[in-house]
A and B are shown apart, each in its own frame.
Chain A
Amino acid sequence: AIQLTQSPSSLSASVGDRVTITCRASQGISSALAWYQQKPGKAPKLLIYDASSLESGVPSRFSGSGSGTDFTLTISSLQPEDFATYYCQQFNSYALTFGGGTKVEIK
């Protein structure tokens, strides 16, 4: 199965900061990568698909980039409601996999 490695596993940031999370795949997955946000006790929410396509209704401060094995999720200006855990997911193969998650905490 394709493994996804997210970094960092956690970070502390302030409101207004620019935040970048990376996801590395163990083999090339073209652009078959999605990003999700999860808040405690809630189901995950789709933010980005096809590596850089913004899901409908998601604020434009979220953006994604990358292809092949290296991907990035960027939050251009962190807002209070963005403190959550973020997961990448590959759907290049039928054995879908998630990254280990990145918890974004308030500094």
Chain B
Amino acid sequence: QVQLVESGGGVVQPGGSLRLSCAASGFTFSSYGMHWVRQAPGKGLEWVAFIRYDGSNKYYADSVKGRFTISRDNSKNTLYLQMNSLRAEDTAVYYCAKGLEPVPAAMPFDYWGQGTLVTVSS
């Protein structure tokens, strides 16, 4: 069965960095686009970043562009999110999510991880 397990969350000071990981299993990871989505406490969902199946193209929300980097290691079935220059408004639960179909285009998300909490605070 498909499993996505995030790790790497925690408390970090403003201006600091953090790297999130998402370990995938139960499907052919190298065939699917993958996403990061976040949810601030008590707020709605915000798409963060998308990476194509082969890592050839990456897309970001304006709110994180230039500060966050999405990447993947298909040999390790793992997705990453490198977060730099963190701000208080980046505080959220971060989810990784799998694209519905193995196509290059962005697709809706049929599987999500359980989420990892990132808190940016001094």
Enumerate chain A interface residues (CB-CB to B < 8 A).
1, 34, 36, 38, 43-46, 49, 55, 87, 89, 91, 93-101
24 A-B pairs (CB sep. < 8 Å): A1-B62, A34-B109, A36-B45, A43-B95, A43-B115, A44-B45, A45-B112, A46-B110, A49-B108, A87-B44, A87-B45, A89-B108, A91-B105, A91-B108, A94-B59, A95-B47, A96-B35, A96-B47, A96-B106, A97-B47, A98-B45, A98-B46, A100-B44, A101-B44
Contact call B47/A46, Cβ cutoff below 8 A:
no
Least CB distance, A44 to chain B, in whole angstroms: 6
How distant is the Cα of A98 from the Cα of B44 in the complex, in angstroms? 8
How distant is the Cα of A94 from the Cα of B56 in the complex, in angstroms? 14
Chain A residues contacting B45 (CB-CB under 8 Å) are 36, 38, 44, 87, 89, 98, 101
> Interface residues of B, CB < 8 Å — how many?
21
Tally the A-B contacts, defined by beta carbons under 8 Å.
54
Least CB distance, A50 to chain B, in whole angstroms: 8
Over the window 110-121 of chain B, the binary record of Cβ atoms lying under 8 Å from chain A Cβ atoms (1 yes, 0 no) is 101111000000
How distant is the Cα of A58 from the Cα of B81 in the complex, in angstroms? 31
Chain B residues contacting A91 (CB-CB under 8 Å) are 105-108
Contact call A46/B44, Cβ cutoff below 8 A:
no
Contact call A49/B59, Cβ cutoff below 8 A:
no
Contact call A43/B108, Cβ cutoff below 8 A:
no
Which one of B35, B47, B61, B62 has the highest number of Cβ atoms from chain A below 10 Å of its Cβ?
Answer: B47
Chain A residues contacting B112 (CB-CB under 8 Å) are 43-45
How distant is the Cα of A36 from the Cα of B95 in the complex, in angstroms? 14
Partner of A95, one of B61, B105, B107, B115: B61
Contact call A46/B109, Cβ cutoff below 8 A:
yes
How distant is the Cα of A38 from the Cα of B115 in the complex, in angstroms? 13
How distant is the Cα of A89 from the Cα of B46 in the complex, in angstroms? 10
Over the window 98-109 of chain B, the binary record of Cβ atoms lying under 8 Å from chain A Cβ atoms (1 yes, 0 no) is 001000011111
Which 4 residue pairs across A and B have the least CB separation, nearest first? A34-B108, A43-B112, A94-B59, A96-B47
Interface membership of B50, Cβ < 8 A: yes
